[in-house]
């Protein structure tokens, strides 16, 4: 059953949830003397950390430029979905933290880009570590946010994040890939793009590019920047 889920594209984390639930049920069967032993006790979950890949800068640039032109989906306009994805890459925030953001969460250094550090602060109750931290953001992204957040109510959620972010992102990724393939005229070039791993959901190594991969891209870029381990933490 787990194998079929994996072949259908289900993430390792979701498969682990199914396995955990089945194991709980089997342990109850043993405790309640309905079964002599747990036949699933030898099964272990997959390693979630090896399941995802970080999208390259080129893939992200294409995605951010293509998604704003897509139709409204899951209650979010294309431009809003693109900004959600970019904010995830620029901050490393998880889904719940992104959903909790309001204009008040952002300190954009009063629009002064010659000095000062712009930050975005996620609410502690939505952070995995339970802390409220001010996350520094790049000056160029702060400029984009000044325009995007202009005129909004300070306590209004910035993003109407749907529950099915994984499906939403995968659909946008598929459409962006199709547009990238059709962006070249010659059939030979299209075949080459079709056989590449640019913007593919699952690569030949089995790793997938899902919504949480945007956080992986943030971490990958942070390490590549040469940031000291203490600063990265």
- What value does the mean pLDDT take over residues 71-95? 95
SS3 134: strand
Mean pLDDT of the chain: 88
pLDDT value of residue 193: 95
Greatest mean pLDDT among 81-95, 100-114, 216-230 lies in 81-95
Per-residue pLDDT of 9-63, as tens digits, reads: 677 778 889 999 999 999 999 999 999 999 998 888 877 666 788 899 999 999 9
Residue 135 near residue 122, CB atoms below 8 Å: yes
Q: What percent of the chain has pLDDT over 90?
A: 61
pLDDT value of residue 225: 86
Residue 110 has pLDDT above 60, yes or no: no
The band of 113, judged by pLDDT with boundaries at 50, 70 and 90, is very low
Instruction: Tell me the sheet residues that pair with 107.
Output: 119
Judged by phi (left if over 0) then psi (alpha if -120 to 50, else beta), residue 32 lies in alpha
Question: How many CA atoms does the CB half-sphere of 170 hold within 13 Å?
Answer: 11
Q: What percent of the chain has pLDDT over 70?
A: 91
Looking at residue 121, what DSSP letter applies?
E
The first and second tokens of residue 31, run together, are 């405790």
pLDDT value of residue 49: 61
* pTM of the full structure: 0.77
């Amino acid at each position: 059953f787990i194998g079929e889920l994996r072949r259908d594209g289900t993430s390792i984390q979701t498969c682990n949830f199914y396995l955990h639930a089945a194991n709980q049920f089997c342990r109850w069967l043993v405790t309640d003397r309905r079964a002599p032993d747990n036949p699933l006790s030898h099964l272990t979950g997959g390693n979630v950390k090896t399941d995802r890949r970080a999208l390259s800068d080129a893939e992200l640039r294409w995605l951010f430029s293509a998604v704003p032109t897509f139709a409204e989906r899951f209650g979010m306009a294309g431009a809003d979905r693109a900004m959600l994805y970019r904010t995830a890459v620029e901050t490393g925030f998880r889904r719940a933290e992104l959903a909790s953001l309001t204009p008040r969460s952002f300190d954009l250094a009063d629009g002064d880009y010659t000095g000062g550090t712009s930050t975005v602060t996620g609410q502690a109750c939505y952070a995995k570590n339970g802390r409220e931290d001010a996350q520094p953001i790049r000056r160029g992204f702060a400029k984009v946010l000044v325009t995007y957040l202009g005129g909004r109510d300070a306590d209004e959620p910035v993003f109407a994040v749907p529950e099915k972010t994984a499906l939403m992102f995968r659909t946008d990724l598929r459409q962006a890939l199709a547009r990238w393939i059709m962006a070249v005229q010659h059939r030979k070039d299209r075949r080459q793009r079709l056989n590449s791993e640019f913007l593919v959901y699952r690569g030949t190594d089995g790793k997938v590019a899902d919504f949480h991969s945007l956080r992986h891209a943030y971490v990958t870029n942070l390490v590549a920047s040469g940031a000291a381990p203490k600063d990265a933490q």
